[in-house]
Amino acid sequence: MPASLDHRSIDDFFDDVAEHAGQRALVDARHLRWVDPDGMVGLLLTGTVAGRGGARPRLGLPESPDVTGYLSRMGFFEAARGVFDFDAAPRRTPAGRSDVLLEITSVASNADVHAVVDRVQGQAGMILASRLDYPPSAAVQFSVMLSELCQNIVEHAEAPGWVAAQAYNWARRLGRFVVVISVMDGGCGFRGSLMEEHAARYGDRWGDATALEAAFLHGLTRFPDSGRGQGIQQIRRQVRRWDGAITIRSGTARIGQVPAWDDAPPLVDGLAPFPGSQISIVLPAHVDGADGGARA
């Protein structure tokens, strides 16, 4: 593993895992010094993917007590039981007052989605107001967005997934606070979900990148009747209103809505094949005069 595992480095890590799929794996996190929700949820997902060959992968725990303490507070080790084999991890201690909106939470059913919304409602309002200077109404919009993200796992993925969210001070990178949200699963992905309804019309052009463009840019869903399954479009519009960034990786491609403060490419194809869908959202603190412009 790299020393830093976050939304910028997770793609390379997924590519490495995909390259060794089917082999017994040791995930060496001993030198990990920084990890965000994308890194933690992505690590759980890679363990699940690596373990599909039969043998559970081994996880070498970080040597940094700060990192292991953070992983413990976010509930990583509880979620990792059954995914990795690893030595005894620190006991989870209450985080107290912190910028955690949502610890790592498994999503496999509608009940899980409701539980996620119940857990974030109070904390979201406080953090979005104090850290991001969002209006009080943002708490409801945030909860709806998180519900839609988790509901996508239940309705489309055909496999369980995880979600986590936290606020960070990006003093050097952006000069303000951000909220990072990660929602990932190892299911059928966008191409698999949309194939029955839409693959024929695209013919030879059908693939992971085409499926992502169809859903993300054009609002196509697996439902034949219009108006159903528009969650991704609603999320994309809300993220744009908050001048945020959203990226979705599925299969061999990644698509994104990229604000002016980010330099990521809107579309990347030719990645190593990786199962499921991996969604990352970064919401920055409000700045007067931000125009919300984005490339997609």
Mean pLDDT of 106-133: 92
All structural domains of the chain, each given as residue ranges with its CATH number in brackets, are 1-87 (3.30.750.24), 100-296 (3.30.565.10)
First to last CA, the chain: 30
Residues 239 and 145: their CA atoms lie apart, in Å, by 9
Query: Which runs of E-coded beta strand occur in the chain?
Result: 4-5, 26-28, 34-35, 58-60, 100-107, 161-170, 176-185, 245-251, 253-259, 267-268, 274-284, 294-295
What's the pLDDT tens digit per position in 85-109? Answer: 998 877 766 655 578 999 999 999 9
Residues 227 and 98: their CA atoms lie apart, in Å, by 39
Residues 284 and 280: their CA atoms lie apart, in Å, by 13
> Is the pLDDT at 14 greater than 60, yes or no?
yes
What's the pLDDT tens digit per position in 182-232? Answer: 999 999 999 999 998 888 889 999 999 999 999 999 888 876 555 444 578
Number of other residues whose CB lies within 10 A of the CB of residue 168:
17
Residues 60 and 44: their CA atoms lie apart, in Å, by 13
Token pair 């955690």: residue: 100
- Predicted confidence at residue 23, as pLDDT, reads 77
Judge whether 178 and 285 are in contact, CB under 8 Å: yes
What's the pLDDT tens digit per position in 139-156? Answer: 999 999 999 999 989 988
- Predicted confidence at residue 156, as pLDDT, reads 82
> Is the pLDDT at 251 greater than 80, yes or no?
yes
Nearest Cα to Cα of residue 37 among 84, 83, 95, 103: 103
Give the type of residue at 151: Q
- Predicted confidence at residue 94, as pLDDT, reads 60
Helix (H, G, I), strand (E, B) or coil at 239: helix
Distance of alpha carbon 78 from the chain centroid: 19
> Is the pLDDT at 157 greater than 50, yes or no?
yes
- Predicted confidence at residue 64, as pLDDT, reads 95
Residues 40 and 50: their CA atoms lie apart, in Å, by 15
- Predicted confidence at residue 22, as pLDDT, reads 73
What's the pLDDT tens digit per position in 28-83? Answer: 999 999 999 999 999 999 999 988 877 899 999 999 999 999 999 999 999 999 89
Nearest Cα to Cα of residue 278 among 173, 135, 157: 157
> Is the pLDDT at 295 greater than 80, yes or no?
no
Nearest Cα to Cα of residue 182 among 282, 268, 295: 282
Residues 240 and 263: their CA atoms lie apart, in Å, by 16
Mean pLDDT of 241-254: 97
Task: List, in order, residues 6 or more apart from 221 with CB less than 8 Å away.
Answer: 194, 197, 215, 228, 229, 230
Judge whether 156 and 188 are in contact, CB under 8 Å: yes
pLDDT bracket for residue 19 (50, 70, 90): confident
Judge whether 178 and 170 are in contact, CB under 8 Å: yes
